[in-house]
């Protein structure tokens, strides 16, 4: 949201709390603002409506976490989506190319688990365990906020050499394959830590 939407946002939150017959203090309004200002006003309005009509917990006044969950999903949701991207890339791209995902946390988790090549060479019988380990690690990293991550994950080229070794010999390695949203993957590449 923009700063000029702050007054309208305060009115919205106050109206919602009014619906639940709860007073709202300036501190609470400011807390909602700080936590949700990264989202669009319309998104927040829709999330508040979804909360109010939710048969499981719509009878209770919304907490900030309820609205963030509506807007972003839980860390478990994000971990499962991230695993889907990894699993798809393992089959589509494989271990022979560098990859850059649209989520830097994926890079951290895969590096912790032994790297892209090892991930791609996971045996079928171990996939369930690997998925569980990946999702648990992803949730842990996602809960930390901003973390440094590798700018891309290193694969092996067709000759069996590490792609970074090609650069040492003066050969230009191919660019990493972008996985997920290409624009976000480019941002991950630019904001990541070079190897």
What's the domain range around 51?
A: 3-72
pLDDT digits (tens, 9 = 90+) for 65-121: 999 888 877 888 899 999 999 999 999 999 989 999 999 999 999 999 999 999 999
Whether residue 67 is found in the same domain as residue 79 = no
pLDDT digits (tens, 9 = 90+) for 125-138: 999 999 999 999 99
List, in sequence order, the alpha helices (H) in 20-159: 26-36, 41-52, 64-72, 75-92, 104-112, 116-120, 127-142
Final residue belonging to a domain, choices 41, 72, 103:
72
Confidence of residue 45 (pLDDT cuts 50, 70, 90): very high
Q: How many domains does the chain have?
A: 2
pLDDT digits (tens, 9 = 90+) for 151-183: 999 988 644 455 566 667 777 778 899 999 999
Query: Token digits for 34?
Result: 């700080």
Per-residue pLDDT at 194: 77
Whether residue 66 is found in the same domain as residue 79 = no
Query: 188 near 82, Cβ under 8 Å?
Result: no
Whether residue 97 is found in the same domain as residue 167 = yes
């Amino acid at each position: 949201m923009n700063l000029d939407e702050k007054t309208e946002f305060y009115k919205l939150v106050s109206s919602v709390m009014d619906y639940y017959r709860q007073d709202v203090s300036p501190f609470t309004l400011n807390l909602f603002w700080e936590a949700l200002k990264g989202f669009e006003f319309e998104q927040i309005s829709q999330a508040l409506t979804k909360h109010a009509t939710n048969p499981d917990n719509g009878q209770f006044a919304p907490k900030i976490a309820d609205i963030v969950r509506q807007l972003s999903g839980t860390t478990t949701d994000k971990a499962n989506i991230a695993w889907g991207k990894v699993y798809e890339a393992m089959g589509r791209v494989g271990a022979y190319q560098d990859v850059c995902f649209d989520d830097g946390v994926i890079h951290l988790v895969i590096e912790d688990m032994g790297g892209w090549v090892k991930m791609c060479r996971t045996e079928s019988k171990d996939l369930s365990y690997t998925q569980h380990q990946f999702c648990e690690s992803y949730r842990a990293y996602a809960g930390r906020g901003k973390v440094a991550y590798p700018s891309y994950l290193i694969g092996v080229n067709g000759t069996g050499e590490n792609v970074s070794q090609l650069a040492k010999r003066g050969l230009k390695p191919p660019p990493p394959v972008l996985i997920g949203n290409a624009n976000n993957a480019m941002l991950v590449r630019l904001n990541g830590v070079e190897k």
